[in-house]
Amino acid sequence: MSKNRQITIVDIAEAAGVSIATVSNVLNRRNVPMSEDTIRKVEEAAERLGYRRNVMAANLSRRKSYELGMLVPSFSGYYGRFAEEMQRKAHTYGYHLSVFSAAGFDPEIEQRHLDVLLQRRVDGLFCHGLAMTTEATRRIVGDGTPLVLFNGWGWPSDLAAGAVNLDFAGGCIEAVQHLYDYGCRRLYYVGKARAHATDQQRRIGFEEGVRRLAEPVTAELISGDGAVGLEQLLDQQLLQVEPGKPTGILAFDDFDAFTVMSAVMKRGLRVPEDVQLVGINNDPISQVCYPTLTTVAIPYHEQAQLAMRLMLLKLGEQNRLKQADGDSTDDHDQLLEQQEIRIPLRLIQRMSTGQRPSGAAMS
């Protein structure tokens, strides 16, 4: 079979040893009598052959539900705020969005979400890169359900095409430069290992930011979750502060930055005179704590807007977009052609990063 030829239901029927009608019934989830063994054979054959149904043809052959699904790792922090923004955007375009939490990759919960999404036959699926395994996601998109991945790094290229990713690496590069400009010559990144690829993007940005500085600095990555390893860092490193030479810390998110700041201040160190901190997300805690936290803000509205626009294009809703946003065909083509849509983040300075040392200039 030619590698470039599109797999059809005829190929699946031949591989599974069933009729074409049976394959169509299985892939379209039609409520007709079929044995579990038949369904399994068809699904396994489709997966083995790499079958992907033509979305435009599928939409013509079935009635649209105008319901979209969304999978996030949890409802806390960024995930909950982004889900709310996505629900507002979906409503604007006449769609309903059902949001599900992965609950820490619990296999039973993942299977339950999978069953619900397949039964509802959502028109499209949004999935965070940490919310579901690639195998489970393939089951949902295997019958042509469009997928828009967000914050998905390290996924197979066929699933990750057009992923709407926040540029955490770029934001961390800016944060490192900011700490350097404010006199920090010892820099630390306090990470969250269980966040996998999301944490890795921050580490990439931290290391690249250090590499770009005008002069060498002491830099270290602190492994673990949140403040794991912080005690050793504080007792062996931060207590050796020199006047006028603050230590700079970039934390995985604002909550971790707040945790670090609390531990620092308990040891009698001053923020920002001795230690300067930058968090990520611009969560409410960054504005109500004292000192307030400098943070790398996430443009929730922009990411939601781009994710919804991309989904509507995959659903063939160009006219709906044109009516709502005044988009042109060129705009649509450009958006669909991007392998990755990278959204820049913005640094917001607050009290946890102090005055620039006298005579220092921005690099």
The reply to whether 184 and 292 lie within a common domain is yes
> How far is residue 213 from each of residues 16, 116, 207, 208, 296, measured CA to CA in Å?
59, 50, 10, 9, 19
Domain-located, residue 25:
no
Residue 292 within any structural domain of the chain: yes
Pair type for strands 218-222 and 247-251: unpaired
Same domain, 236 and 123: no
CB-based contacts of 240: which residues, under 8 Å, 6+ apart? none
Q: What angle do CA 57, 26, 128 make, to 5 degrees?
A: 70
Rounded-to-integer distance, Cα 61 and Cα 57, Å = 6
Determine the 3-state secondary structure of 341 from DSSP.
strand
Contacts of 117 by beta carbon, 8 Å cutoff, 6+ apart: 69, 100, 125, 140
User: 237 in a domain, yes or no?
Assistant: yes
**What is the pLDDT, as a whole number, of residue 226?**
47
The count of domains in the chain is 2
Same domain? 84 vs 114 = yes
Is 101 part of a structural domain of the chain? yes
For residues 22 and 13, the answer to whether their CB atoms sit within 8 Å is yes
The contacts of residue 234 (CB under 8 Å, 6+ apart) are: 263, 264, 267
Cα 43 to its chain centre, rounded Å, is 29
Return the pLDDT at 234: 65
Residues 172 and 232 in one domain: yes
Domain end point (choices 298, 322, 352): 298
Q: Are residues 265 and 336 both part of a single domain?
A: no
Task: Tell me what pLDDT residue 145 has.
Answer: 80
Looking at the structure, do residues 251 and 282 belong to the same domain, yes or no?
Answer: yes
**What is d(CA 66, CA 63) in angstroms, rounded to the nearest whole number?**
9
Whether 75 and 224 share a structural domain: no
Same-domain check for residues 137 and 224: no
Q: Are residues 251 and 157 in the same domain?
A: no
For the CA atoms of the chain, what is the radius of gyration? 24
- What is the enclosing helix (H) or strand (E) of 67? strand 67-72
**Mean pLDDT per 10-residue section of the chain, whose length is 363 residues:** 64 88 74 79 86 53 77 88 94 91 71 72 87 78 81 83 92 98 93 83 97 94 62 63 83 92 88 94 94 97 93 86 71 75 95 69 44
pLDDT score at 56:
44
Does one domain contain both 238 and 266? yes
8 A C-beta contact, residue 72 and residue 83: yes
Distance CA 189, CA 202 (A): 9
DSSP labels for 162-223? TEEEE-HHHHHHHHHHHHHHTT--EEEEE-BGGGTHHHHHHHHHHHHHHHHSSS--EEEEE-
Tokens of 328: 């042109």
Residue 102: alpha-carbon gap to chain centroid: 13
How many other C-beta atoms lie within 10 A of the C-beta of residue 243? 7
Q: Residue type at 181? A: D
Please report the pLDDT score of residue 63 as a whole number. 62
* Residue 40 maps to a domain: no
**Domain extent at residue 137:** 52-161+301-343
Instruction: Tell me whether residue 27 is in a domain.
Output: no
- The token duo for 254 is 């604002």
> How many Å apart are CA 170 and CA 155, to the nearest integer?
20
* Domain presence at residue 59: yes
Asked if residue 46 belongs to a domain, the reply is: no
CATH code for the domain of 213: 3.40.50.2300
* 269 Rama sector, left if φ>0, alpha if ψ -120 to 50, beta otherwise: beta
Question: Are 174 and 289 part of one and the same domain?
Answer: yes
Q: Which of 245, 268, 298 is the last residue of a domain?
A: 298
Q: Which residue, of 268, 298, 328, is where some domain finishes?
A: 298
Supply the pLDDT for residue 158.
76
Pairing of strands 186-190, 163-166: unpaired
- My answer on whether 126 and 245 are in the same domain is no
